[in-house]
Amino acid sequence: MESPFEYNKYVSGAQFIGRSNEVAHLCNLIREHKNVLIYGPAKIGKKSLVYNSLELLRHDPGDITLCDMDLFNIRCIEAFMLRYANETVSHFAATDTEWNIILQRYLPSSPYMMDKSSHRLQYTYTTKNLLNDRQIEEILSLPDKLAQEYGTHIIFYFRQFQDILLFDDPHRTFLLLEKCWKRDTHTNYIITGDRFNAMEEIFQEKKYFYHFADRIEMKPIDEKIFSDFIVKGFLKAGKVIHPEQASTIYNLVEGDPWYTQHLASICFNLTKGYVNEGIIRQATQHLINLHDFEFHSIVFSLSKYQTRMIKAALEGVVKFTSADVLDKYRLNSSANVSRLKEALTKKEIITFNEKKPATFLDPLFRLWFVNYFFAE
């Protein structure tokens, strides 16, 4: 029997566990036509939460149109607007004629042309024909206008939203998005991001989109729910893992759903009958080996001060600027500590908390540091 544990795509059905409260919350917000903000480290379950919630909403009365846009390879506002327009129009136009009608009626000042070969809007932009604010606002108002005309409710789902920070002028983009989206009455937004610290910078530090969206926090799935799920997965194939061992798997990767499923899957494949502690150790080694090159590459880019800061964080230091900490970990100075915190935050390795120990965003990376990089 193939492994019953799913970790290489978003999960649904019996694989989707422990998120009933989050699903109910998300569905209720959408039903109330409110905007939603979800962010956390990669593979924590954001996409699974959104898609399973939207599947439930499909059974509600009324027409819903889902626009789905990933920003992972977008690096300027012109590329953003073109994809935004194409994603929107594609749900309402099936022929070239329909595309051109929408283009002429709703985007009269835009520089877009209809490409008959791809059935998409095209725009070759140069430094001389960049979009102005009026054109951008016209494009951003498109979903709400089409939703009103066609009698539907649009849900615009964004992934990797933090990548807007990589634009030449992210401040301009955020302000324009804020201005236009706050006017919408027939369109709501689900905004998600995989870079926790970058999303914190946008929504908490710089306070863009203030009071625009309700945040749903991706808290760890309950240990007992996940442990029971692992035990039942083994039993389906006639294999046995004790609840305590399932909890060990969960705790090794701090309940991260992606790593927990993957580690359980490796244990499943390594055993013919009963799981023991040796198999869990072997499986953990396999999981770390799969990510070893990635972790080495990240550490290779770190300075000696940054690795010392990481060691201090691993050992539970909270006040990094105290004289004894500066001396013990050779962090140089208080000013250097500030720079180190900023650098490690930007690299999405650690989140620093003012009065609590720092949080490592990737639990397997943390385990790799403890067991390998800083091992005696």
- Name the band, by pLDDT with cuts 50, 70 and 90, for residue 195: very high
Q: How far apart are CA 85 and CA 70, in angstroms?
A: 13
Cβ 65 vs Cβ 73: under 8 Å: no
Tell me which residue has tokens 């590459």.
Answer: 297
Match domain 19-215 to its CATH number in 3.90.25.10, 3.40.1390.10, 3.20.20.10, 3.40.50.300. Answer: 3.40.50.300
Taking residue 1's Cβ as centre, other Cβ atoms within 10 Å add up to 8
Q: Which residues contact 36 (CB under 8 A, 6 or more apart)?
A: 26, 29, 30, 188, 189, 190, 191, 213, 214, 215, 216
pLDDT in tens, 8-37: 889 999 999 999 999 999 999 999 999 999
- Name the band, by pLDDT with cuts 50, 70 and 90, for residue 118: confident
Taking residue 298's Cβ as centre, other Cβ atoms within 10 Å add up to 15
CA dist 372 → 283, 289, 376 (Å):
16, 11, 8
In a 3-state reduction of DSSP, which class is residue 159? strand
> What is the overall mean pLDDT for the chain?
96
Ranges of each domain in the chain: 19-215, 223-297, 303-373
pLDDT in tens, 59-94: 999 899 999 999 999 999 999 999 999 999 999 999
Q: How far apart are CA 123 and CA 263, in angstroms?
A: 46
pLDDT of 304 above 80: yes
So what's the pLDDT on residue 355?
Answer: 87
Q: 290 phi and psi, to 5 degrees?
A: -65, -30
The domain made up of 303-373 has a fold known as Arc Repressor Mutant, subunit A (1.10.10)
pLDDT of 1 above 80: no
pLDDT in tens, 244-303: 999 999 999 999 999 999 999 999 999 999 999 999 999 999 999 999 999 999 999 999
Count each helix (H run) and each strand (E run) in the chain, helices first. 16, 9
pLDDT in tens, 318-364: 999 999 999 999 999 999 999 999 999 999 999 998 889 999 999 99
pLDDT of 376 above 80: no
Nearest Cα to Cα of residue 191 among 172, 170, 212, 207: 212
- Is the Cα dihedral 353, 357, 363, 364 positive or negative? positive
| Residue 252 CB burial class (10 angstroms; 0-12, 13-18, ≥19) | buried
Helices assigned H by DSSP within the chain:
20-31, 46-57, 77-89, 96-106, 133-140, 142-150, 170-181, 196-200, 223-236, 243-252, 257-270, 277-300, 304-314, 323-328, 334-346, 363-368
Q: What percent of the chain has pLDDT over 90?
A: 93
Q: How far apart are CA 330 and CA 137, in angstroms?
A: 51
Cβ 37 vs Cβ 213: under 8 Å: yes
Nearest Cα to Cα of residue 71 among 197, 214, 173, 219: 173
Q: What is the mean pLDDT of residues 226-242?
A: 97
pLDDT in tens, 101-117: 999 999 999 999 998 88
Q: What is the mean pLDDT of residues 147-158?
A: 97
Q: Compute CA 191 distance to the chain's CA centroid, rounded to the nearest angstrom.
A: 9
Cβ 288 vs Cβ 368: under 8 Å: yes
pTM for the structure as a whole: 0.94
Q: How far apart are CA 199 and CA 37, in angstroms?
A: 10
